[in-house]
């Protein structure tokens, strides 16, 4: 199990002033692709599919609100999570992505305090188990949006993610603590 | 020795098979198994598909029906037994004596294992299950030393299976009422210990506060490894100060005593953690596969790299090296 890398503060600061508007369409498309390619997620989510989940990358200047409703799923970028959101899941971006692609264990991240969970724990477990079983591959699921260019897109996206991990792994983040 | 690995989902089962398990154990998505958690477990179709996947790699699938049937509602447990047999399960892991009786009478050719939840911890108790119901393997409670396991294994006419990694329960297998005292639900009756519906976590200025129902279970200072919010691993305030009374929040890791367990005649080694992710399954199963392969050829085992996956980021040999009596 790899240690949890944190994005350099330079990236966080660079992203800070950028508007969130341009993110919304790509986020929506990626979520629809994930849902279309992994429809069994909803069987495991059950009643929790109708809840809202706040996803808070601790090394990004914005957060996400996920509403995995079977008919109208939505993923929206927000400056800060709305008050009263039923679930808050916070941690480094690459830890959150690692929970999705199966490279990290959620309980281990919780034990190491890299992952913070607040709110409806039952919904959190259902989401975690549904995603872990589905075998979501964000790179492949995103690349699938590009039709015949999917193989090329997948290579480019995988390379970009690898580069991001390299940058994060090499970064010295003040106060950062790996969990192994 | 066989490596018996947890599978909370079909994906976890495939991961266990691919990582080197000799057998995977799993359960249905209801109160018949002791990991009845949200989003976890198998439908009937998923179990059949999982068994087919495992069998293609010569890996066995054991189905845990290891909670205690509720009076008047035994049909749920009987149906689980029937459906697991129909799906082609290689063995059923059962705790309740009535359910074992049902399985033995209804499916006389089905291989039966006695669950750890049955708490059979001496040759007389185990012998009863073997003689009366034809039980072929007993999963021993986590209260025994290696020498006690060796003595039991010599004295009984069935195989023994012991836990080697993962969560530890308070030492009253099958009889713990701590969770039901607080939440009304228990692992033995409902398949859930400290159910998520009763758990809350709160960050208070870097301190993590975990609560179960109306009780604060623990407060973890900034940077301090966290643990599950179970009463048995709660930190209690007493007149002598605060501390752990029942158990420390640590995981079992018996990698260091695998040679001793083999010498004791143990047939199978069990990894706990059906509630854990594919990443856990991959890491732990592959790690122990390497340990066992090295043991088989007399090589020095690879370094244990599983500390990051343990509860509280800490491990113990538990009762295997009992030093408190």
- Digit-by-digit pLDDT tens for chain A (180 residues) are 677 889 988 888 999 999 999 999 999 999 999 999 999 999 999 999 999 999 999 999 999 999 999 999 999 999 999 999 999 999 999 999 999 999 999 999 999 999 999 999 999 999 999 999 999 999 999 999 999 999 999 999 999 998 888 888 765 444 444 333
pLDDT at residue B191 tops 50? yes
Q: Which residues of A touch B310 (CB under 8 A)?
A: 111
Is the pLDDT higher at B304 or at A130? A130
Is residue B58's pLDDT more than 50?
yes
- Helix (H) or strand (E) holding B77, with range, is helix B74-87
Q: Please, what are the domains in chain B? A: 2-168+250-321 (3.20.20.70), 178-244 (no CATH)
Of B10, B279, B309, the CB nearest to A103: B279
Cβ-defined contact of A99 to B37 (cutoff 8 Å): no
Residue A98 has phi, psi (to 5 degrees) of -65, -30
| Residues contacting residue A68 through CB under 8 Å, at least 6 positions apart | A35, A41, A42, A45, A49, A53, A127
Asked if B153 and B265 touch (Cβ cutoff 8 Å), the reply is yes
Interface test with A, best of B15, B38, B195 (most A CBs within 10 A): B38
Mutate to test the interface with B, among A38, A41, A44, A107 (most CBs of B within 10 A): A107
A89 three-state secondary structure: strand
**Domains in chain A: boundaries:** 9-135
A177 and B225: CB-CB below 8 Å?
no
Distance (Å) from the C-alpha of residue A39 to the closest C-alpha of chain B? 14
- Measure in Å the smallest separation between the Cα of A22 and chain B Cα atoms: 32
pLDDT digits (tens, 9 = 90+) for A57-69: 999 999 999 999 9
Query: What pLDDT is attached to residue B263?
Result: 97
Of B9, B38, B277, the CB nearest to A106: B277
B138, pLDDT greater than 50: yes
Whether pLDDT at B177 is above 90: no
* pLDDT confidence of residue A178: 39
Q: How many other C-beta atoms lie within 10 A of the C-beta of residue B190?
A: 20
Query: Are the C-beta atoms of B64 and B28 separated by less than 8 Å?
Result: no
In the predicted structure, residue B172 carries a pLDDT above the cut 80: no
Q: What CATH architecture does domain A9-135 belong to?
A: 2-Layer Sandwich (3.30)
Closest partner residue to B307 among A45, A122, A180, by Cβ?
A180
Q: What's the confidence (pLDDT) of residue A174?
A: 41
Nearest-CA distance B14 → chain A (Å): 10
- B138 CB-side CA count, 13 A: 27
Beta strand pairing call for B315-316 and A53-57: unpaired
Nearest Cα residue to B25 out of B87, B91, B86, B116: B91
- The pLDDT, as a whole number, for residue A176 is 41
pLDDT of residue B322: 79
How confident is the model at residue A171, as a pLDDT? 58
At residue A170, the pLDDT reads 65
**Weakest mean pLDDT among B74-78, B172-176, B242-246, B270-274:** B172-176
Residue of A nearest to B287 (CA): A1
Q: To the nearest whole angstrom, how far is the Cα of A97 from the nearest Cα of chain B?
A: 13
Tell me if residue A45 falls in helix, strand or coil.
Answer: helix
């Amino acid at each position: 199990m790899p240690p949890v890398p944190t994005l350099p503060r330079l990236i966080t600061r660079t992203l800070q002033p950028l508007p969130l508007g341009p993110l919304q369409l790509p986020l929506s498309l990626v979520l629809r692709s994930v849902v279309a390619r992994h429809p069994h997620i909803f069987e495991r989510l059950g009643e929790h599919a109708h809840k809202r989940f706040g996803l808070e990358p601790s090394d990004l200047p914005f957060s996400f609100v996920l509403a995995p409703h079977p008919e109208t799923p939505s993923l929206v970028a927000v400056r800060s999570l709305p008050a009263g959101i039923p679930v808050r899941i916070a941690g480094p971006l690459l830890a959150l992505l690692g929970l999705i692609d199966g490279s990290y264990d959620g309980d281990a991240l919780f034990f190491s305090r890299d992952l913070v969970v607040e709110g409806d724990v039952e919904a959190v477990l259902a989401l975690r188990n549904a995603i872990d079983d589905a075998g979501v591959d964000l790179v492949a699921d995103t690349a699938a949006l590009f039709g015949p260019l999917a193989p090329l897109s997948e290579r480019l996206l995988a390379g970009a993610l690898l580069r991001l991990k390299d940058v994060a792994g090499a970064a010295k983040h003040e106060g950062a603590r790996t969990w192994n | 020795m066989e490596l018996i690995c947890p599978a909370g989902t079909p994906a976890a089962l495939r991961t266990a098979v691919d990582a080197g398990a000799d057998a995977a154990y799993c359960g249905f998505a209801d109160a018949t198994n002791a990991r009845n958690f949200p989003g976890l477990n198998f439908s009937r179709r998923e179990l059949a598909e999982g068994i087919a996947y495992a069998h293609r790699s010569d890996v066995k699938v054991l189905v845990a029906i290891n909670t205690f049937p509720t009076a008047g509602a035994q049909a749920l447990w009987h149906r689980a037994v029937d459906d697991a047999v129909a799906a082609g399960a290689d063995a059923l892991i059962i705790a309740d004596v009535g359910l074992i009786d049902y399985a033995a009478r209804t499916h006389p050719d089905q291989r039966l294992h006695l669950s750890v939840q049955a708490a059979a911890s001496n040759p007389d108790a185990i012998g009863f299950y073997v003689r009366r119901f034809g039980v072929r393997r007993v999963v021993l409670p986590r209260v025994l030393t290696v020498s006690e396991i060796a003595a039991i294994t010599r004295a009984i006419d069935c195989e023994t299976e012991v836990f080697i990694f993962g969560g530890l329960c308070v030492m009253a297998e099958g009889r713990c009422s701590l969770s039901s005292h607080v939440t009304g639900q228990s692992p033995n009756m409902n398949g859930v210990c400290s159910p998520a519906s009763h758990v809350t976590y709160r960050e208070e200025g870097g301190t993590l506060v975990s609560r179960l129902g109306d009780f604060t279970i623990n407060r973890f200072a900034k940077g301090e490894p966290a643990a599950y919010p179970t009463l048995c691993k709660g930190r209690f305030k007493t007149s002598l100060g605060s501390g752990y009374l029942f158990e420390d929040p640590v995981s079992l890791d018996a990698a260091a005593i695998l040679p001793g367990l083999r010498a004791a005649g143990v047939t199978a080694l069990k990894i706990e953690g059906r509630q854990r992710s594919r990443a856990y399954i991959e890491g732990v199963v592959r790690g122990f596969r390497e340990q066992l392969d090295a043991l088989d050829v007399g090589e020095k085992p690879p370094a244990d790299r599983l500390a990051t996956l343990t509860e509280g980021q800490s491990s113990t040999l538990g009762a295997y090296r009992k030093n408190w009596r």
